Chains A and B, each alone.
Chain A
Amino acid sequence: MSAVAQSVGGVTVATEGWGWRPAGRARWALQDLDLHIEPGERVLLLGASGSGKSTLLHGLAGVLGGSEEGDEAGRLLVDGAAPGHRRSRIGMVMQNPDAQVILSRVGDDVAFGMENYNVARQDIWPRVRRALSSVGLNLPLAHDTSRLSGGQQQRLALAGVLAMNPGLLLLDEPTANLDPAGVLEVRDAVAAATEQTGATLIVVEHRTAVWLPVVDRVIVLGSEGQIVADGPPGVIVDRERDRLTGAGVWVPGAPLPEIPPRRAAPGEPLLTATDLSFGHRGGASLHTGLNFEINRATTTIVTGPNGAGKTTLALTLGGLLPPHGGRVDAALTFAPTPDRLEPIRWRSRELLTRIGSVFQDPEHQFLASTVRDELALGLRALKRDRAVVAEVSESLLERLRLDHLADVNPYTLSGGEKRRLSVATVLATNPEVIVLDEPTFGQDRVTWEELVRLLAEITAAGTALVAITHDGDFADLLADHRIELAAAPSQAPAQATR
């Protein structure tokens, strides 16, 4: 039993020949790492995926686990002691907003950490209020956490961490899954909090442009888990530009990829929305009276703030969710039979060659136990010849650089590989319309560029693309048409539970 350390300000972080090898792996994720970070320093940690950035953060947070989780070499020191002995001074925020919320009321969630560190009850609530206001989350304490946006959830997690007066703030891609407004919300909240408390900050993030203005040191990890560059932000980013770009890091001012010029005139319409209203099954309609066409060889970009119903529109266009009102009709030549023009009335197999859907979370659409079978699944459902199945899947494996992973379980792939696979499964059956929901979310620069090129290429070949996105560069490069969804008007006003 121990009281919370009353000290304020930042802590010193040191690694002495530290290394970590996850259980069952031959290769060390990190090895012989020697680092020294002064109290109050704000560090941006960069490197290719798989370079051990997250491992280092988890190690410093003391949540890597014991010897059954892996082997440790050397020492990690936070204020001169093992992280396990400094836990009340260390706060971590991770990437996935869903996984950051613990309890169902905003106030309780912020109080959770303090309860665990035996903070007296009368001290808890003032600190909860202070933490919430320092991240700009001015909501009733009883507000339901399931009704927060992604940006709000991440700020809540940050408040939960700040309420414990941490001397070390560890952020593992805290803004990768947020819309542009959410990214700035969280970044500014972090900057203000570290300014106020003097806490040491270590942040891992691919999108450097967002974080460079608020850090004073950049450390780059190499693919073997060693330090390849360390210094002030401007100097390091200039000097390591090529290496960073190659490692998938977004460096400010990097040129956008060249893509083939688009056709001047749009192709004929494949899908026509007439007076369309849509929403969740059994829920209120999010939008009404929409009229638009989806044309061959054209990319339609759908944008709008979080909660505007973009994903619901994607499901409706994909023939997966019935419209609330109005119609989505396929062109006569595109529909399987003239009496069933609406995609929602098509059979599952009829969708395969007509409308492909790429979901926001690739894992939702994995069905097979190997990458190769995943690609073959749709073709087998279409009863294609065995030789054709093999040929198409092999060529896709090669084209999307997944051939060395053909026999691996899709769930074990990295984020970028999962995204490539989910796109490849749709391409396998060659649909004429492809609907993509946030295809570039959380992707590093390398995967991003590949996706842009690939999508430009298939549009040029005649496919109609519909992409839901927050990503400005992506939209600017590919958009032929744009649909801008306003915030859904029917969202109930925020109110305290009970």
Chain B
Amino acid sequence: MTADPAVVPAARLNPIGKLATALVIAAGLLPSLDWVSAAAALTMEVALILALRIPLRPLLPRVALLVLAAGLTAVTILLYGESSGVVHWHFLLITVSDGSITLAFATFLRVLAIALPSVALFIGIEATELADGLGQVLKLPARFVLGALAGLRLVGLLGQDWRYLGYARRARGVADHARIRRVAGQSFALLVFAVRRGSMLATTMEARGFGAYPTRTWARTSEFGWRDSALIATGLVVVSTAIALSIATGHWNFLGSH
């Protein structure tokens, strides 16, 4: 409830500011497919992550996954992307050319540049804080925000239900064959459990006055301060600098127009 002075700068920022910043950067980088804007954005993002002192321990494994995903996308484009310039290798449908190499490299950087801010900024955001932000900063309806928040907690219970439904199928002698049909049946049973748990939760919430009045108070503040505005501004600077650099060097390629 009170800010702990020991926490890193990133943890003091409002989740809504983080969400907006990630969206700003993604929106700015989506239209083009060149390597310059992506590389420039990526460089500045890394600097931003270091400045915010986002803890590396949770970050690095996520980044590793991201690099893997970006790499796989790039390889696909390298092998099957539109070919132009010198063709280096050709095998059946596979063509590796200058064009596909450039495109693959640009895609690799772009996937990283777009996804890295979301991955980094969302570390350590708890559902509760996000809900507070959505309700108090964005003023979304409390019914929607808290319904979603409480519903999220049910996911863990449903995971447990799923395992038990699986054990029960084995115990009842029907787990040897027809795997697809079994999974379909088990999914349906899970759906029944989900509806049931959902309606019990709704009764509990209603019994505690949820929705009794049009207004409610919030036990935790979700404040949107100058730091949060600064973060979004930084996001804007990152994308606009990246785009400006790309246009200036003649690499800007709006929606793949050339």
Contact = CB atoms under 8 A, between A and B. Distances in A.
A111 B219 contact: yes
Q: Size band of the A side of the interface?
A: 35 or more
Contacts, number: 162
Contacts of B201: 99, 102
A116 interface: yes
B153 interface: yes
Residue of A112, A357, A364 contacting most chain B CB atoms (<10 Å):
A364
Contacts of B176: 347-349
Task: List the 9 closest pairs (A to B, CB-CB), nearest first.
Answer: A348-B175, A116-B209, A111-B219, A99-B200, A352-B173, A113-B208, A365-B168, A381-B173, A357-B171
Interface of A: 1-2, 58, 61, 63, 87-88, 90-92, 94, 96, 98-105, 107-108, 111-121, 124-125, 128, 141, 145-146, 157, 160-161, 164, 315, 318-321, 347-349, 351-352, 356-357, 359, 361, 363-367, 377-378, 381-382, 411, 425, 429, 497-498
Contacts of A112: 205, 208, 210
Interface string B196-234: 010011011111111111111111110000000000000
B1 interface: yes
Contacts of B212: 87-88, 116-117
Given A1-B214, A117-B212, A364-B165, A351 B170 contact: yes
Contacts of A357: 167-168, 171
Contacts of A113: 208-209
A50 B50 CA distance: 63
Contact of A104 (B127, B171, B200, B221): B127
Contact of B167 (A96, A111, A320): A320
Contact of A88 (B175, B209, B221): B209
Contacts of A96: 200
Contacts of A125: 1, 219
B9 interface: no
Given A61-B207, A87-B209, A94-B204, 13 more contacts: A90-B207, A102-B205, A102-B208, A105-B128, A115-B217, A119-B217, A146-B156, A321-B167, A348-B170, A348-B175, A348-B176, A382-B173, A497-B126
Nearest to A280: B163
Contacts of B144: none
A63 B124 CA distance: 37
Nearest to B132: A108
A286 to B, nearest CB: 16
B141 interface: no
B244 interface: no
